[in-house]
Amino acid sequence: MWQQKVNEFMKSEGAFRVNGRKASERTKTLTKEVLCASIRRLHQLGYRIQDPKNLGERHIQVLVKDWWYCRKKKIKTIQNDLSRLRVVCEMLGKPGMVDSVGKYLPDVDPKLLTVRSATKTTKSWSGNGIDLVAKLREVDERQPRLGLMLRLELGFGLRREEVLKCNPHAQDYGHYLQIFPGMGKGGRWRNIPIASTAQRELLDYVKARVPKNKPLGWDYTRAGEAASLEQNIRRYENLMASFGFTKADAGVTGHGLRAQFAENYALLLGMMPPTMGGEAGQRGSADESVLKVKVAQALGHNRPSVTSAYIGSFSSDGSDLTDDLDLEAIQKVLRFLEIVGLPTVPPERVSDCQAIRVAMARFGLAMSEEQIHMLWAKNSRRNGVEWMTPEHEIPLVLRASAEALLNDVLL
């Protein structure tokens, strides 16, 4: 069977990248999935390949045309799948066999074959209408271990493989969470700053519920056998699907928590992400570049441009530095909240609300404690907690909550 040939090939050749570095489990899994799907589709199209070694250029051409004209795949998906097949062919000793997508689709407008990496809409769970606090409780009731993983994905932007390997006790260095060498993408290590009380609360919550010197991944399969990383990944994906955390069911994936972390971290640094309504000219170009570097590094990327896939990119309008805070969204929300009955502020949160009111008064905004409480609680919940201490960028965070509330009202 061809499946056995694929398994043998991936076992012998798929452990390392073309550059000689060890491939991650995610890389191996995705490459194998694309290879199997491609061979299966070729069978359906009449090409009975029984061994990956028999893949030829004509097969690649057939696949690309099928993906574009028949299956109507998005260009980004086609580019990604073609990249996987390029790696496979290089491992097969056929470098250069897989060409650019444009060669296989010469009649298609090149503009349609260009991948636009900057996201225009938020991929975050909160931005797609999910109450993180309520959803985490729901997950805790059925799958508490998964609930712990989701908290670290939200609070620290961990990738799927990173969270499965994470030992929160060993990796907590007080002011940052360290991703050890070999755990992250490409084997890179990084320090993720603990910049908010919400992050500390999420991390402490997880640490209180897992033994020391143990990773978060499951030790055993349901059959009682020692679980491999690949089996843990499969179990994670199955559980996510069972809760409906898929693009098809909820409009989000686990990766959306990583995007939400990027948005939350950008806010803490003083930059409103484009995916949350931020506009060009918030900061000078130099400051904006520095902030992008910080967000990218927290995510485990070297290139600041990668942040556009998580928080969007600003449209260039020739504007530069502006020190003015856009208060329009907050003012609109305040007019709305004036006619809405708001609950009393819990006693333990009164002092925080008073501190926020003083901060906003400097901008000429008179806000009641009840109004402040509603907006700040909304921000806290998008960070995965009931309430977080107001520390950084209070006006910007309130504006983000106001923008989100306005969107909720309009929808």
The answer to whether residues 74 and 61 touch, using CB atoms and an 8 Å cutoff, is: no
The Cβ of residue 321 has, within 10 Å, a number of other Cβ atoms equal to 12
Window from 117-126, 143-152, 220-229, 323-332 with minimum mean pLDDT: 323-332
Q: What percent of the chain has pLDDT over 90?
A: 69
Burial of 246 (0-12, 13-18, 19+ CB in 10 A): middle
Each residue's pLDDT tens digit, 368-404: 999 999 999 999 999 999 999 998 899 999 999 999 9
150 and 267 housed in the same domain: yes
Residue 16 has a pLDDT of: 54
Domain boundary among 274, 301, 323: 323
pLDDT band at 327 (very low <50, low <70, confident <90, very high): confident
Each residue's pLDDT tens digit, 219-252: 999 999 999 999 999 999 999 999 999 988 898 9
Angstrom distance (rounded) from CA 227 to CA 219: 6
Residue 259 has a pLDDT of: 97
Window from 188-202, 294-308, 321-335 with minimum mean pLDDT: 321-335
Instruction: Extract the tokens encoding 304.
Output: 């600041």
The Cβ of residue 54 has, within 10 Å, a number of other Cβ atoms equal to 15
> What's the full length of the chain, in residues?
411
Window from 51-60, 61-70, 321-330 with minimum mean pLDDT: 321-330
pLDDT band at 267 (very low <50, low <70, confident <90, very high): very high
For every residue of 172-192, which 3-state class applies, written as one string?
ECCCEEEECCCCCHHHCCEEE
- Mean pLDDT for 349-378 is 95
Window from 154-158, 183-187, 314-318, 389-393 with minimum mean pLDDT: 314-318
Residue 322 has a pLDDT of: 40
Residue 76 has a pLDDT of: 82
Each residue's pLDDT tens digit, 188-226: 899 999 999 999 999 999 999 999 989 999 999 999 999
167 and 285 housed in the same domain: yes
What lies within 8 Å, CB to CB, of 223 at 6+ separation is none
How far from chain centre, in Å, is Cα 30? 17
Residue 317 has a pLDDT of: 45
Total domains, the chain: 3
The answer to whether residues 301 and 262 touch, using CB atoms and an 8 Å cutoff, is: no
- Mean pLDDT for 66-76 is 90
Residue type (1 letter), 172 = D
The answer to whether residues 97 and 54 touch, using CB atoms and an 8 Å cutoff, is: no
Enumerate helices (H) and strands (E) in the chain, giving the number of each: 19, 2
Window from 3-12, 187-196, 254-263 with minimum mean pLDDT: 3-12
Instruction: Extract the tokens encoding 32.
Output: 């194998």
For 160, the domain range is 117-323
Residue type (1 letter), 79 = Q
Q: What percent of the chain has pLDDT over 70?
A: 92
- What CATH number is attached to the domain comprising 309? 1.10.443.10
Residue 409 has a pLDDT of: 66
Residue 406 has a pLDDT of: 87
pLDDT tops 70 at residue 22:
no
214 and 199 housed in the same domain: yes
Residue 319 has a pLDDT of: 40
CA distances (Å), origin 322, targets 259, 297, 393: 26, 26, 16
75 and 58 housed in the same domain: yes
Closest CA to 161 of 240, 229, 228: 229
E strands in 180-302 = 190-193
Share the mean pLDDT of the chain.
Answer: 89
Domain boundary among 291, 323, 355: 323
The answer to whether residues 220 and 328 touch, using CB atoms and an 8 Å cutoff, is: no
pLDDT band at 316 (very low <50, low <70, confident <90, very high): low
The Cβ of residue 336 has, within 10 Å, a number of other Cβ atoms equal to 14
Residue 318 has a pLDDT of: 39
35 and 66 housed in the same domain: yes
Residue 224 has a pLDDT of: 93
Residue 325 has a pLDDT of: 63
Angstrom distance (rounded) from CA 160 to CA 184: 10
pLDDT tops 80 at residue 150:
yes
- Mean pLDDT for 112-136 is 86
pLDDT tops 60 at residue 17:
no
36 and 61 housed in the same domain: yes
231 and 281 housed in the same domain: yes
- Mean pLDDT for 119-132 is 90
310 and 167 housed in the same domain: yes
What lies within 8 Å, CB to CB, of 338 at 6+ separation is none
- Mean pLDDT for 80-85 is 91
Angstrom distance (rounded) from CA 4 to CA 164: 28
- Through-space distance between the first and last CA atoms of the chain, rounded to whole angstroms: 52
CA torsion sign, 204 to 210 to 214 to 216?
A: negative
216 and 352 housed in the same domain: no
Angstrom distance (rounded) from CA 180 to CA 161: 12
273 and 127 housed in the same domain: yes
Domain boundary among 300, 323, 346: 323
246 and 346 housed in the same domain: no
Window from 38-42, 240-244, 279-283 with minimum mean pLDDT: 279-283
Helix or strand run (H / E) with residue 393: none
26 and 102 housed in the same domain: yes
The answer to whether residues 274 and 400 touch, using CB atoms and an 8 Å cutoff, is: no
